Structure 1
Amino acid sequence: MIALIDGDILCYRCAFAAEKTKYLATRFEGEMWGPFDSHKDMKEYLVGQLSDYTIWSRKEVEPEELAIQATQATLQSILNKLGTDSYEIYLSDTFSFREKFATTARYKGNRDGQARPVHYGVVREALLRDGACTCPDQLEADDMLGIRGTGLGSECVIVSIDKDLLQIPGRHFNWVTDTYTEIDGREGSLRLGCQILSGDATDNVPGLSGIGEVKARKYLEGSTSTRDMVSRIKELYKAQRGEQSEQYLLEQGTMVYILRHRTDSFKTWYEKHAA
């Protein structure tokens, strides 16, 4: 069994493990309480004692060695849980091909100004030294997991906490909640269809107005085939976008569709099932 690991999320979480936010409360007289490990702890401590105070927070960063140790320990824990020592780790390229197709809203543009963890670069370099791969051709880690997962089939398990990957048929493992999910072809297509309709707020993909995951699934789960599902998606897009619906649908689909092979594209998938 080969573990296909989402290196982007592993990198972020382990780099953040070396950062702690501490909370303090002060009054104008110069009195100070704290630091507290969480905002909740601070509020519980101060309730009934003070009514006029200012809340402060500060970031405390541990040495980079701690982040690297957290990465190594997390990776080993994942492999132990899966009962394998065979794995592949993928890290996204610095530029995604999706950025070239995003005309309505900049792909992941809502993340501008969000600081990466201090030790992100150090952890990334450590993963690369240990055999992680940077995705080629402006692909993202999700795409390489989709490509390898499709190619390997039952010989692998996709390891990530990103629910977007559940559009890929196969076995999935969430290493934070320790849960396995088996996705068949129908469920994978349904999850993709729901994302095409609802978009993805995390990646700044708007989708259709007024349609969230619950409404999208309710609308599509009665589909008798992938072609029927695509037909329903086209109807909703046309109702909202009129003459521009086809172009907009192709754009939104490209943003959320995870590749299954190196020459794959949402346009190819769409044309196959929309005929």
Structure 2
Amino acid sequence: MILIDADILVYRIGWSCNEESEKTAISTIDGFISDILLQLNVDEETDYYVLYLTGKGNFRKEYAVTAEYKGNRKDKAKPVHIQALRQHLIDKWAAVVTEGEEADDAIAIQATVHGDKAIMVTLDKDFDQIPGWHYNFVKQDKYYVKPEDGLRFFYRQILMGDRIDNIIGIHGIGDKKSEKILKDCVTEKEFYDKCVEMYDGDETRVIENGRMLWLRRYEGEIWSFNEDKE
């Protein structure tokens, strides 16, 4: 099962064709999708693949306290053909539009359901918290994320935050430093406790960031640390 992050495609093709005609933009995105499926040896007519687009509403906004979730994107320009491309993906490619959650969540849920039979197709690093097969269509790189590596990446995200989504992390902590801080952690409790320590004991900040950053594994899930599952 091929799970495609169509949000990435719409923006990537949208910007590359921003000064082109709508017809050219649509033709380009069709060719791009066909090329991705070809790279993965997927038959467009018979094999199972799904494109996902983010629709209205986002549960994360209810839990954002420190800063408005994606509040830094309000005034940013969007590709001219974004709506035409989205509608085309719905009409021609039967793209699924999410409601109340992001396309990322829908993909993560299906990846969890289908396990190693699924391949997540995206350029979004946030997906590295999800165990399973991943495919970077620019690098043409297929790679596997183990559960323990996905969990480690998620807790590193809690420390780093995410500038793109306006999730505030700890100042001065990036990829290398977050990896170093958590290098000796093995269990989830150890990861969690270390993050609380780095936030000077402010557990609410750890929980807030966790809820912003966690990609759902089942419908309606809201992340929380549960010591009983250790």
State the TM-score, normalized to the length of structure 1: 0.78
Match of 2:211 in 1: 254
Structure 2: 5+ residue runs without aligned partners?
A: none
- Aligned AA (1:76): S
- Aligned AA (1:69): S
- Aligned AA (2:160): S
| Aligned pair partner of 2:80 in 113, 118, 129 | 118
Residue 69 (structure 1) aligned with residue 68 (structure 2): no
| Structure 1 residues 127 and 273: alpha-carbon distance in aligned structure 2, compared to 1, 3 A threshold | farther
**Post-superposition offset of 1:209:** 2.5
Distance 1:104 1:81 in 2: 42
Q: Is the 8 A contact 2:63 2:208 kept in 1?
A: yes
Q: Which has the larger radius of gyration?
A: 1
State the TM-score, normalized to the length of structure 2: 0.93
Which string of whole-angstrom CA distances, capped at 9 and with x for unpartnered residues, describes residues 148-200 of structure 1? 00101111100000011010000000011111121000100010010001100
Q: Is the 8 A contact 2:121 2:137 kept in 1?
A: yes
Which string of whole-angstrom CA distances, capped at 9 and with x for unpartnered residues, describes residues 41-83 of structure 1? xxxxxxxxxxxxxxxxxxxx21101110111101100100011
Identity fraction in percent: 34
- Aligned AA (2:222): S
Residues 253-262 or 225-234, more deviating: 225-234
Distance 2:25 2:61 in 1: 30
| Aligned pair partner of 1:217 in 167, 179, 184 | 179
| Aligned pair partner of 1:161 in 123, 140, 149 | 123
Secondary structure, aligned partner of 1:10:
helix
Match of 1:271 in 2: 226
Distance 1:210 1:264 in 2: 31
Match of 2:166 in 1: 204
Distance 2:141 2:227 in 1: 33
- Aligned AA (2:9): L
Q: Is the 8 A contact 1:227 1:274 kept in 2?
A: no
Distance 1:105 1:274 in 2: 30
Structure 1: 5+ residue runs without aligned partners?
A: 20-60
Match of 2:98 in 1: 135
Match of 1:98 in 2: 60
Which string of whole-angstrom CA distances, capped at 9 and with x for unpartnered residues, describes residues 92-131 of structure 1? 1232111111111111111121111000000000001120
Distance 1:104 1:228 in 2: 24
Match of 2:113 in 1: 151
Q: Point out the structure with the larger strand share.
A: 1
Residue 195 (structure 1) aligned with residue 153 (structure 2): no
Q: Is the 8 A contact 1:226 1:273 kept in 2?
A: no
Residue 84 (structure 1) aligned with residue 42 (structure 2): yes
| Count of residues paired in the alignment | 225
Secondary structure, aligned partner of 1:203:
coil
- Aligned AA (2:103): A
Q: CA RMSD in A?
A: 1.5
Distance 2:22 2:106 in 1: 28
